[in-house]
Amino acid sequence: MSVGGLSPSGIAMSDFHDAIADCAIADARYVGSPYAWYSRRLHQRLDRVLISSCWMTVFPKMQVAHVELSQSDHRGLLVEAECTVERKECNKTVFGNVFDNVAAVERGLKEVDEAYDQDPCDSMIVECNRCSAELVRVLAQEETFWRQKAGIRWAKDGERNTRYFHALVQKRRFRGTIFGIQHEGEYLTDPIAIKDSVVSFFQRLLTAELVFPEEMDSEHLEDGFTDEDRRFLCVMSTLEEVREVVFSIDPDSVAGPDGFGAVFFILVGRSFSRMFSAQ
């Protein structure tokens, strides 16, 4: 990032980007001015802080500020971090602690297997099957938990790489943290000031007077369309076209505000497709 000079070459920066990817590190977010080095009219961001997913886990609220230094053309990088000492209770109270459930079921299955080795009776076989089914259930629950957290496409082959998705969640959460907002030319960092600014913005937005655009002259619209264009616009979509659009949605995409994921609409679409086909 620079102002007043040539932009960095993508080819020249490719080795640097490859090194960042190989080391599994990311650029930390900063607040304030984006430039850390000045030379008359040339402003560039030469200095930056790179962090790992483990660092983001321990310091999710970390931010980097560019500090003014009067005797240097470089701005200092001030790292502010807050360690997560307190743990959220939502996982325990709402989900029943998904991870503890998996560990408990695995211990129970191990105990049943050992008991079956000592007494391979029919009742122990039934108990082994029950514990195995319970383990499948809690693992699926854990997979669903991380799928919703990560908000990305899930592995098609069913591989449970929860460590990888946990790292993605930490990166999304770190990037999504709001450290401050720009409000009427002023950078706000105080949580109360940020809340008041957001409330004020939406109050003005929802109470503003609606301004409707002037009606367009239909004559100009008619001049721009041919008879073939008009016929195309008036044709109803076929069932096959609607089906193709609905079924092309990724079933594992994140649910919308209504709580329904794409897989719901695909299943419903198949039901409606059979109903209309029957008619």
Give the pLDDT confidence score for residue 275 in this predicted structure.
Answer: 59
Give the pLDDT confidence score for residue 157 in this predicted structure.
Answer: 43
* Residue appearing with tokens 């594992």: 252
Q: What is each CA distance from 68 to 28, 71, 208, in whole angstroms?
A: 19, 9, 40
Q: Which residues pair with 188 in a beta bridge?
A: 181
53 close to 27: Cβ distance less than 8 angstroms: no
SS (H, E, C) 139-151: HHHHHHHHHHHHC
> Cα(199)–Cα(193) distance, rounded to whole angstroms?
10
Q: What is each CA distance from 83 to 25, 57, 61, 200, in whole angstroms?
A: 19, 9, 8, 32
> Cα(4)–Cα(12) distance, rounded to whole angstroms?
19
Q: Which residues pair with 25 in a beta bridge?
A: 52
pLDDT digit string (tens) for the chain, length 279 residues: 545 555 555 666 778 888 888 888 888 877 766 666 666 566 666 777 888 888 887 787 788 876 665 456 667 778 877 655 455 555 555 556 777 888 888 888 888 877 877 887 888 788 888 888 888 888 887 877 776 666 555 444 444 555 666 676 676 666 667 777 888 878 888 888 888 888 888 888 888 776 666 665 556 566 667 778 778 878 888 878 877 877 777 766 656 656 666 777 677 666 666 655 555
Q: Which residues pair with 38 in a beta bridge?
A: 43
Query: Residue 64 corresponds to which tokens in the numbers above?
Result: 């980097």
Give the pLDDT confidence score for residue 85 in this predicted structure.
Answer: 45
Which residue ranges make up each domain of the chain? 2-80, 90-176, 223-278
